[in-house]
Every structure is written in structure tokens, then in C-alpha cells.
Amino acid sequence: MTPADATIARAIRSLLGTRAPTSSICPSEAARALESDDAAWRALMPEVRRVAALLVTLGEIEITQRGQVVTSEVVGPIRLRRGPRFIAPPHPGGEGEQNRHAQPDPASTE
């Protein structure tokens, strides 16, 4: 994954992390989060869809069309939702990712 891909992936994860676990986002929301100019975010859409397909292979997200999970090669409008391996990124000023998902150590004496 390139640095630009990582930025797109971070935008997707961040948007999904702020929504209810069963909610989805439009890929254009991620593009708009990165580019405010209409032409620029539209030009970014193929890259957003490509990075979304990479996140599908990692199990982090699922791509849906009309509410059904589809392959990344689908044509037309799609939505992105959390996959089985999705971990919400830490919120600014909030707990870190590890703290929110860590299980207490049963051997701990604290």
C-alpha cells in the first residue's frame, strides 16, 4: 500500500469508525474527506474504490450494492461497511485502539 493508499484507507476507516457498526458509507464520502474541490474528489474516486478493494482482501471492510455483499469488480453505485476484521481507529483525544479492544490480563495483580 502506497502512502496515498494509506491516507485513503485511513479516511475510510475513520468514517466507518464514527458510524454505527451496521452503517455504511458511500466511497464519495472518503473522497470528499480528502478533497473539497468537486473535480478533485471525483478524480479520486477510482483510487478510493481500488483501496476499498484492498481493504476487502484484508477483511476490514465489505463492499455492498443494494444491500448485498459484492466483489470489488462491481460496476455502479456501491457502499462500504465494516468487515469482520475492522478495528475502529482511535478518536482524537479518546482512548487508543489498543486500550478500547484490550482484554484485561487475568494474571494481573492490579
What pLDDT does 88 receive?
Answer: 84
Q: Which sign does the torsion angle of CA 39, 45, 46, 51 carry?
A: positive
- Res 89: pLDDT: 84
Region 19-33: mean pLDDT is 96
Q: What is the pLDDT of residue 92?
A: 66
As a whole number of angstroms, the distance between CA 39 and CA 70 comes to 27
Distance CA 91, CA 39 (A): 29
Distance CA 105, CA 110 (A): 10
Which triple of cell numbers denotes residue 2? 502506497
DSSP state at residue 63: E
d(CA 33, CA 23): 18
Q: In what order do the strands lie in the sheet with 68-69?
A: 24-25, 79-82, 61-65, 68-69
Residue 105: per-residue pLDDT: 39
Per-residue pLDDT reduced to its tens digit, 43-58? 999 999 999 999 999 9
